Amino acid sequence: MTYSNAKTTGESLPRRKPPKMQGLSLNGFWNDQRFRNFAAQAIVIALVIGFFVYIFGNAQRALSDQGIKTGFGFLMDSAGFAIGESPIPFSASDTFLRAYGVGILNTLKVSFAAIVLASIIGVLLGVARLSRNVMLNRFASVYVEVFRNTPQLLQIVFWYMLAVQLPGPKQAFSLDGIAFLSNRGLAIPGPGEGSGFGFALIGLVIAAGLVVLLRRHLEKRLRQTGQKFNGLPLSIAIMVIVPAVIWTVFGTPSQIEIPALRGFNIRGGLQLSPEFLALFLGLSLYIAAFIAEIVRAGIASVNQGQIEAATAMGIKNSDVLWRVVLPQAMRVIVPPSTAQYVSLLKNSSLGVMIGYPELFNLNNTILTASGNTVEAIIIMMAIYLSLTTTIAVIMNWYNRSVQLKER
Amino acid sequence: MTSHRLISNAQTGASAARPAPVATSGLVHWARQNLFDGIHNTIFTLLCCALLIATVPDLFRWAIWDAAWTSANGADACKATTGACWAIVQEKYRLMLFGTYPYEQHWRGALVVLILGVMSIVSGFRVFWTKWLLVAWCVAWVAIFVLQLGGVFGLVPTPTHLWGGLPLTLLIFFSTVIGGLPVAILLALGRQSNLPIIKALCIGFVEMVRGVPLVTVLFMAALIFPLFVPEAMTPDKFVRALIGMLMFFAAYAADIFRGGLQAIPRGQYEAAEALGLPYWQKTTRIILPQTLRIVLPALMNDIIRAFKNTTFIAIIGLFDILGATKSALEDPTWVSYGTEAYLFVIALYFVVCFSMSKYSASLERDLNKGNTR
C-alpha cells in the first residue's frame, strides 16, 4: 500500500474521466441500480397480482359451476343449523350473521375467562418462582416446565378426555349440593333466567369507575400534601354498595339459582359445558406458564439497589413492592404479556378439535352450510385480525401508561 | 476480638456459659433457612406438604401400584383394576407411533426417526459445526425421503397419504424449520429493504399471518387452496399442510430476525458499504452472521413452538401422533383408556421439548460468555 503510494505520488496521475451522467441512458440500462430496483419490484408485483387473479378466477369459475351465488348476501339467509351452546338465543331459522355473532361471543367468552385465570395463576407462579422457599419454588418450576413443554392442543384434548370420563349426572361430584361436576360439565350457582343481574353489572361498572376516580384523587393528594389515606376499605365498600343499591332501586328480586338434579340431568344455575371447561383450562393453564416466566423475569429485572435504597429510606415493605418494584417491573412485563394474550385469543380456535362452537368452528359450519367459501374465509380472517388488533391496541395503551415518562 | 472478649470476661470476673452456636450446616440448618424462614414461609411449606400428602399417594397408587401394565389378555387387566391402564400403550404403540403407514414397513419409519434423532443430537455439539455437517444433513435428508417414499431399491412405494405418526410429525417439523428459516430471513430483509413495494408486501404478509390463528392458515392451505387451483396442479395434502406450517413459522421467525437486524449497529452497515461490498455480500458476510448470534435464543423458542404446533395438523385430518392416537382410540375395547394414551404422547413431547429448551439455555450461556465476567 505504502509502496504503491510512494510510487504513484512522484508521477502525474492519469486524469480520471468525469463520472458518467446518471440519467437513464438506453446504453446498458440493465446495469443501472434504479432500473434494477424498478424492474425487480415490477416483476414481484406482477407475480403477486397474477397469482391472486388466477386463484380468484378459478374459485369464481368453480363456484359458478356449482351454482353458488357469490357476494355477502348470504349473511341474511337463515342458517338452518343449531348451535350447541350460545350466550344469545339461536335457532336454525336465525341468520348466518347471527351465527357469526354467536361465534364471536363464544370466542370472547372463553378467551376473556382464560385471560383472567391465566393472569392470576401466572402472577402467583411467577412470584413463587422467586420465593426463597425451596418447596414453593420447585413446585412452581415443575408446573412451568411441564405446561410450557407440551403442546397446547394435546393439553386441551387431554382435559376434554378427563371431562367426558367423569361420572354421569346421577353420580356427579358435588360440593355441599351447590356445585356439581359431571360428564355434562360444571354447574355452579348463578343467575337464573330473566333475573335482573344486568343492573347489578351496570352498577359494578359504575362502581369501578368511581374507584378509579377515588384512587386518582388520593394519589394526587398524596403527592401534593404527603398525607396518606388508606383507600382500600372505601374502595371495597363502593364496589359492594353501589351495585347493591342500583339493584335494589330497580326492584329486582334476588334469585341466585342453585343447580339441582332433576330427572336425568342437572339443571339451573350457571352451566359450563365440558367443551368450554376443557378449552378454558387448556388455554389458561398453558398461557399461565408463560406469564409466570414473564413475571419472574420482570421482577428479577428490577435493580436490587432500588429495593435496598427504598428500604434504607425507611419505606415500609408493602410500599416498596407497590411503589418501587412493581412500577419498574411492569415496564418489562407488559409488552411480552400482550403477545401471550393475543396468542391465547388466537388459540381459542383449537376449540374446533373438541367441538366448542367458537368462531373458527362455527365458520366451518357456516362455510359448509352456505357454500360461500371465499366470503366466509374473508369474514373470519377480518374478525380475527380485528380482535387481535383490539387486544394489541388496548395493551399498547396500557403499556404507554406504565412506561417511563420521558421528556 | 478474642483478646477483647478475654478482657471483658476478666473484667466481669466470671465467664458465663454461652449457648451452643446455631448450626450453620447440615439438613436442619438448610431446612431452617429455606423452608421455615419466618411465619409466611412456614405456612407455605406446610401447605405444600399437605398438597403432596393429599395427591402423591393416590397418584402413585393409580399410576404404578394398581396399574395394569400388560395387554396379554386384551383389556381384561384394565377392566379389573381401578389404576391406570398402561396396557393400551403396549397394545396400540405401533398405531400411535406410525399411524396409517403399512404395518410391515414400520421399520422404515423407525429408521427415519432414528436418523433424525441421531442427526439432531450430533448437530447439537458445536465441535461438529462445520460444512461437513451440512453435507451429512443433505445425505440424511435424501436417505429419509427414500425410506419414507419408497419405490426405489426394491422398497414398497408408500405415498405421502399413507404417512403417519412420529415420522410424519418429525418430517413436518424438520421441513418447516429448514424451509422456513431462509424464507424468514428473506422476509426480514425485505422488511428492511428500501424498495417500497417489496417492503410493503413483506410487512403485509408477516402481519397478516401473525394476526390470525395457525389453524386458519392450515385450513386455508390444506382445505381451501385445492378449490382455487385446478386439480392437476394441486400438491398432495402433506405438501399443503407443510406450506401452511412453513408460512406461519416463517412469519414469526421473520419478526425475530427483524429484531436481530435492528440490533446490529448502523456502523456495521456503513463499514460494509464503505468497503464497496455489494448488497448480498454485505448481507451474508457482515450482517447475517452477527444477527444469527443475537437471535439464536429467541429462535430456539420459536423452533420449540413449531415442534409443539405440529399437533395442529391433526385438525386438518393428517395422522400425526395426535391424529394417530385419536384414531387408535376409536377401537371400542380401548376407548375408555384415552387418558393413559394421551399421557404417553404428552410425555413423549415433553422429553423432546424439555431437552430442546435446556439445550437452548446452555447455548445461550455459551454464546454469552463474552459478555459475562
Q: What is the pLDDT of residues B81-91, one digit of tens each?
A: 777 788 778 77
Sequence-distant contacts of B39-44: CB under 8 A, at least 24 apart: B41/A131, B41/A132, B41/A133, B44/A131, B44/A133, B44/A135, B44/A136
Which three three-digit cell numbers place residue B281? Answer: 455480500
Same domain, A38 and A167: no
Residue reference for cell 424464507: B183
Within-domain flag for B60:
no
Spatial CB neighbours of B240, under 8 Å, sequence gap ≥ 6: B221, B222, B225, B226, B234
Q: Do B195 and A381 touch (CB under 8 A)?
A: no
Helix count (H) and strand count (E) of chain A? 13, 8
Same domain, A281 and A378: yes
Residue reference for cell 419454588: A137
Same domain, A60 and A105: no
Same domain, A278 and A324: yes
Q: Do A149 and B350 touch (CB under 8 A)?
A: yes
Total number of domains in chain A: 2
Chain A environment of B35 (Cβ under 8 Å): 133-135
Lowest mean pLDDT of A107-116, B142-151, B319-328, name the range.
Answer: B142-151
Within-domain flag for A80:
no
Decide if pLDDT at B11 tops 70: no
H or E element at residue B267 = helix B266-274
B292 confidence band (pLDDT: 50, 70, 90): confident
Average pLDDT (B100-107) is 80
Same domain, A56 and A164: no
Same domain, A398 and A346: yes
- B-chain residue closest to A53, CA distance: B228
Nearest to A58 among B215, B229, B354 (CB): B229
Spatial CB neighbours of A103, under 8 Å, sequence gap ≥ 6: A357, A358, A359, A360, A361, A362, A363
- B-chain residue closest to A49, CA distance: B201
**pLDDT for res B172:** 92
- Which range marks the domain in which residue A57 is found? 34-68
Within-domain flag for A110:
yes
Q: Do B349 and A153 touch (CB under 8 A)?
A: no
Chain B environment of A139 (Cβ under 8 Å): 48
* Shortest distance, CA B105 to any CA of chain A (angstroms): 27
Query: How many inter-chain contacts (A to B, CB under 8 Å) are there?
Result: 136
Sequence-distant contacts of A61-64: CB under 8 A, at least 24 apart: A62/B227, A62/B228, A63/A371, A63/A373, A63/A374
Q: Do B44 and A149 touch (CB under 8 A)?
A: no
Nearest to B354 among A145, A161, A373 (CB): A145
Q: Do B308 and A353 touch (CB under 8 A)?
A: no
Q: Do B339 and A162 touch (CB under 8 A)?
A: yes
C-alpha–C-alpha distance, residues B308 and B314, integer Å: 12
**pLDDT for res A293:** 92
- A-chain residue closest to B207, CA distance: A385
C-alpha–C-alpha distance, residues B69 and B344, integer Å: 13
DSSP string, B89-109: HHHHHHHHHHTTS-GGGHHHH
Q: Do A388 and B211 touch (CB under 8 A)?
A: yes
**pLDDT for res A5:** 47
Same domain, A284 and A383: yes
Within-domain flag for A125:
yes
**pLDDT for res B148:** 80
Q: Do A132 and B41 touch (CB under 8 A)?
A: yes
Q: Do A153 and B37 touch (CB under 8 A)?
A: no
- B-chain residue closest to A151, CA distance: B308
pLDDT 10s per residue in chain A (407 long)?
Answer: 444 444 444 455 667 766 655 555 566 666 677 787 888 888 888 998 998 888 778 777 777 777 666 777 777 777 777 787 877 777 777 888 888 988 899 999 899 999 999 999 999 999 888 887 888 888 899 999 999 999 999 999 999 988 888 877 777 777 777 777 877 778 777 765 555 566 677 778 888 888 888 888 888 888 888 777 777 788 888 888 877 777 777 655 556 677 777 766 777 677 788 899 999 999 999 999 999 999 999 988 888 899 899 999 998 877 888 888 888 888 888 888 888 998 999 999 999 999 899 899 999 888 888 877 788 888 998 999 999 888 888 878 887 777 766 65
Sheet holding A185-188, edge to edge: A173-175, A179-182, A185-188, A270-272
C-alpha–C-alpha distance, residues A229 and A231, integer Å: 6
Same domain, A107 and A64: no
CATH number at residue B262: 1.10.3720.10
B66 confidence band (pLDDT: 50, 70, 90): confident
Nearest to B41 among A62, A133, A360 (CB): A133
Within-domain flag for A26:
no
Chain A environment of B214 (Cβ under 8 Å): 346
Chain B environment of A158 (Cβ under 8 Å): 339, 342-343, 346
Which three three-digit cell numbers place residue B128? Answer: 461438529
Within-domain flag for A344:
yes
Its ipTM equals: 0.85
Chain A environment of B209 (Cβ under 8 Å): none
Total number of domains in chain B: 1
Same domain, A63 and A100: no
**pLDDT for res A198:** 65
Average pLDDT (B204-210) is 88
Within-domain flag for B25:
no
Residue whose C-alpha is closest to residue B177's, from B346, B305, B293:
B305
Average pLDDT (B159-173) is 86
Q: Looking at per-residue confidence, does A11 or B261 come out higher?
A: B261
Note the helical H segments in A321-405: 326-347, 359-370, 373-402
**pLDDT for res A400:** 79
C-alpha–C-alpha distance, residues A207 and A120, integer Å: 22
Best residue in B308, B316, B356 for a mutation probing chain A (most A CBs within 10 Å):
B308
Encoded amino acid at A196, one letter: G
* Shortest distance, CA B261 to any CA of chain A (angstroms): 19
Between strands A190-191 and A185-188, the pairing is unpaired
Maximum Cα interatomic distance, chain B, rounded to a whole number of Å: 108
- B-chain residue closest to A139, CA distance: B48
Chain A environment of B197 (Cβ under 8 Å): 41, 44-45
Chain B environment of A384 (Cβ under 8 Å): 211-213, 216
Q: Do B224 and A373 touch (CB under 8 A)?
A: yes
- Which range marks the domain in which residue B103 is found? 93-367
Same domain, A46 and A144: no
**pLDDT for res A3:** 47
Chain A environment of B309 (Cβ under 8 Å): 151
Within-domain flag for A396:
yes
Which three three-digit cell numbers place residue A24? Answer: 437513464
Nearest to A377 among B49, B220, B342 (CB): B220
Within-domain flag for A234:
no
Same domain, A147 and A43: no
Within-domain flag for A141:
yes
Decide if pLDDT at B106 tops 90: no
C-alpha–C-alpha distance, residues B163 and B178, integer Å: 20
Chain B environment of A380 (Cβ under 8 Å): 216
Best residue in A154, A293, A362 for a mutation probing chain B (most B CBs within 10 Å):
A154
CATH number at residue A311: 1.10.3720.10
- Percent with pLDDT over 90 in chain B: 17
Same domain, A300 and A394: yes
Lowest mean pLDDT of A65-79, A172-186, B8-22, B237-251, name the range.
Answer: B8-22
**pLDDT for res A8:** 46
